[in-house]
């Protein structure tokens, strides 16, 4: 690890690196177990190594101590809360010769790990956001060290009275610890550009009541991207010899201990690798993500049709402030009709159109023989025509009408 002295030190005003970070670490040391200057240097350098930052020499530490005592890192508002002490200093970190430990001479103590009242008010919001991800190592470490960073134990912050997050809950086919383990493995394979194989439970045959995973298939994939959508983690990658080649897989449906890199040959430890950035570009991943609705992806070969859908009641009010689909466009009405019409550009495929034509012929025959009221709108038919439509409009099914194609 390269040592950083006075001359080599870069000017850095961030609290996450440079001088300001180091005085925060010095402050943590003094407010914690404390010790001699040599022990302080060991403590600060250990923290810097953990952050993959350059270590410092004793002379730099002494300069940082002077900077800490000067108080010049505080803003004007913060400085007004302290009275300067003799020698143009605001603080005085000094060594107690009796016990060999550094301490702050009263009354001034730097507010380096204190939160303002306004900042403390945001803690329930912050902890509510982070708690669902407490299984992920980086978040866990952050929560564990928050007490020393903020002088506040985030694990003990009561979020129930002021703020909460309501999101879908799922009965995962594997336990959450295993799912997070799978997620971290996949992130490593993406970073290393390694092709992977894994056993995947087919969603349509999972039987939660029987607690069985149903049938499985073996997937060979170039992993590209991971997304969190409605509390579910999805792996996006290129699956060879598949249409479309870019596909999504729920990480909780990947069998335990089945994720493995693919060796180049039988008698080698080398694994199949690929250029991740090139694969993302060649597969037009960015375009797929832009066109996707949640995790639903429409390939460029899909057929697009512009349709008009009418929303009634609460659904009409909901869409005034909610964007369901990137193509959504409001069609102004001439008067207060009690409903709202919207235009959408939806995708369909030849295979769906063939099935729809059969359904529509059956419907025409039923209307002709009088067994079906022509005013009975064929919800199933138009939802089948646009496979993503059920995914988008399912919650509004009793409050929408399919008016027709434009």
Q: Would you place residue 171 in the very low, low, confident or very high pLDDT band (cuts 50, 70, 90)?
A: low
Strand partners, 217: 200
Could you tell me if 320 and 280 lie in one domain?
Answer: no
Tell whether the model's pLDDT for residue 1 goes beyond 60. no
> What single DSSP character describes residue 56?
E
Q: Give, in order, the Cα–Cα distances in Å from 183 to each of 90, 150, 254.
A: 48, 29, 10
Spell out where 39-168 has E strands: 55-56, 93-96, 101-104
The answer to whether residue 150 sits within a structural domain is yes
Across all residues in the chain, what is the average pLDDT?
Answer: 77
Over the stretch 101-135, which tens digit does the pLDDT of each residue have? 888 777 677 766 556 667 777 777 777 777 767 66
Could you tell me if 317 and 387 lie in one domain?
Answer: yes
Domain final residue, candidates 285, 312, 344: 285
Predicted confidence at residue 354, as pLDDT, reads 63
The answer to whether residue 165 sits within a structural domain is no
Predicted model pTM: 0.59
The answer to whether residue 148 sits within a structural domain is yes
Q: Which uninterrupted H or E stretch holds 340?
A: strand 339-348
Over the stretch 65-115, which tens digit does the pLDDT of each residue have? 888 888 777 766 666 666 666 666 777 787 787 888 888 777 677 766 556
Could you tell me if 184 and 259 lie in one domain?
Answer: yes
Could you tell me if 45 and 124 lie in one domain?
Answer: no
CB count in 10 Å sphere of residue 7? 5
Q: Sign of the CA dihedral 128, 227, 346, 281?
A: positive
Q: 93: domain CATH number? A: 1.10.10
The answer to whether residue 110 sits within a structural domain is no
Identify the domain containing residue 12 by its residue range: 3-104
Residue (of 114, 124, 108, 125) closest to 149 by Cα position: 114
Tell whether the model's pLDDT for residue 63 goes beyond 60. yes
* Beta strand 3-4 pairing with 55-56: parallel
Look at 230 and 102; give whichever has higher pLDDT: 102
The number of folded domains in the chain is 4
Q: Would you place residue 5 in the very low, low, confident or very high pLDDT band (cuts 50, 70, 90)?
A: very low
Look at 134 and 50; give whichever has higher pLDDT: 50
Residue (of 264, 193, 260) closest to 224 by Cα position: 193
* Beta strand 303-312 pairing with 55-56: unpaired
d(CA 150, CA 128): 17
d(CA 204, CA 252): 14
Could you tell me if 74 and 46 lie in one domain?
Answer: yes
Could you tell me if 88 and 140 lie in one domain?
Answer: no
Residue (of 21, 288, 82) closest to 10 by Cα position: 21
Strand partners, 220: 197
Q: Would you place residue 11 in the very low, low, confident or very high pLDDT band (cuts 50, 70, 90)?
A: very low
The answer to whether residue 296 sits within a structural domain is no
The answer to whether residue 125 sits within a structural domain is yes
Could you tell me if 321 and 263 lie in one domain?
Answer: no
Predicted confidence at residue 241, as pLDDT, reads 74
Predicted confidence at residue 69, as pLDDT, reads 81
Say whether 286 sits in a helix, a strand or coil.
helix
The answer to whether residue 161 sits within a structural domain is no
Predicted confidence at residue 364, as pLDDT, reads 74
Q: Would you place residue 6 in the very low, low, confident or very high pLDDT band (cuts 50, 70, 90)?
A: very low
Look at 241 and 222; give whichever has higher pLDDT: 222
Domain final residue, candidates 235, 259, 285: 285
Mean pLDDT of 215-224: 90
Predicted confidence at residue 7, as pLDDT, reads 41
Could you tell me if 281 and 180 lie in one domain?
Answer: yes
Q: Would you place residue 382 in the very low, low, confident or very high pLDDT band (cuts 50, 70, 90)?
A: confident
What is the phi/psi pair of residue 69, to 5°?
A: -65, -30
What is the phi/psi pair of residue 197, to 5°?
A: -130, 145
Tell whether the model's pLDDT for residue 45 goes beyond 80. yes
d(CA 93, CA 71): 11
Could you tell me if 355 and 399 lie in one domain?
Answer: yes
Over the stretch 259-316, which tens digit does the pLDDT of each residue have? 999 998 877 788 999 999 999 998 888 877 766 666 666 666 677 888 899 999 899 9
Could you tell me if 193 and 262 lie in one domain?
Answer: yes
The answer to whether 234 and 295 are in contact (CB under 8 A) is yes
Which range of 10-19, 127-136, 147-156, 190-199 scores highest in mean pLDDT? It is 190-199
Could you tell me if 76 and 152 lie in one domain?
Answer: no
Could you tell me if 88 and 152 lie in one domain?
Answer: no
The answer to whether residue 386 sits within a structural domain is yes
Domain final residue, candidates 285, 316, 338: 285
d(CA 163, CA 157): 11
């Amino acid at each position: 690890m390269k040592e950083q002295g006075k001359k080599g030190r870069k000017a850095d005003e961030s609290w996450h690196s440079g001088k300001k970070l180091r005085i925060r670490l010095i402050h943590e040391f003094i407010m914690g177990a404390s010790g001699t200057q040599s022990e302080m240097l060991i403590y600060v350098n250990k923290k810097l190594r953990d952050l993959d930052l350059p270590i410092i020499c004793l002379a730099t530490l002494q300069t940082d101590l002077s900077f800490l005592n000067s108080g010049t890192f505080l803003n004007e508002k913060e400085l007004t809360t302290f009275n300067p002490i003799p020698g143009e200093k605001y603080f005085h970190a000094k060594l107690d010769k009796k016990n060999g430990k550094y301490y702050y001479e009263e009354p001034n103590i730097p507010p380096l790990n204190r939160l303002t009242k306004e900042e403390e008010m945001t803690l329930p919001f912050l902890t509510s956001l982070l708690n669902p991800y407490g299984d992920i190592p980086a978040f866990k470490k952050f929560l564990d060290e928050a007490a020393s960073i903020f002088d506040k134990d985030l694990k003990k912050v009561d979020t129930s009275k002021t703020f909460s997050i309501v999101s879908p809950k799922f009965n995962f086919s594997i336990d959450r610890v295993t799912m997070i383990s799978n997620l971290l493995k996949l992130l490593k394979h993406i970073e290393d550009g390694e092709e992977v194989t894994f056993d995947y439970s087919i969603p349509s045959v999972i039987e939660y009541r029987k607690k069985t995973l149903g049938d499985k298939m073996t997937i060979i994939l170039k992993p590209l991207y991971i997304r969190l959508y409605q509390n579910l983690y999805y792996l996006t990658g290129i699956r060879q010899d598949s249409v479309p080649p870019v596909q999504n897989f729920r990480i909780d449906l990947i069998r335990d201990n089945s994720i493995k890199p693919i060796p180049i040959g039988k008698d080698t430890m080398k694994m199949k690798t690929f250029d991740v950035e090139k694969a993302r570009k060649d597969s037009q991943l960015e375009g797929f993500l832009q066109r996707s609705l949640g995790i639903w992806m429409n390939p460029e070969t899909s057929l697009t049709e512009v349709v008009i859908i009418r929303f009634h009641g609460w659904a009409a009010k909901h869409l005034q402030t909610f964007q369901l689909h990137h193509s959504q466009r409001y069609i102004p009405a001439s008067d207060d009709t009690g409903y709202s019409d919207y235009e959408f550009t939806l995708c369909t495929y030849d295979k769906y159109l063939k099935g729809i034509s059969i359904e529509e012929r059956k419907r025409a025959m039923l209307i002709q023989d009088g067994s079906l009221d022509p005013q009975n709108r064929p919800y199933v038919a138009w939802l089948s025509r646009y496979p993503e439509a059920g995914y988008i409009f399912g919650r509004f099914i009793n409050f929408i009408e399919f008016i027709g194609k434009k």
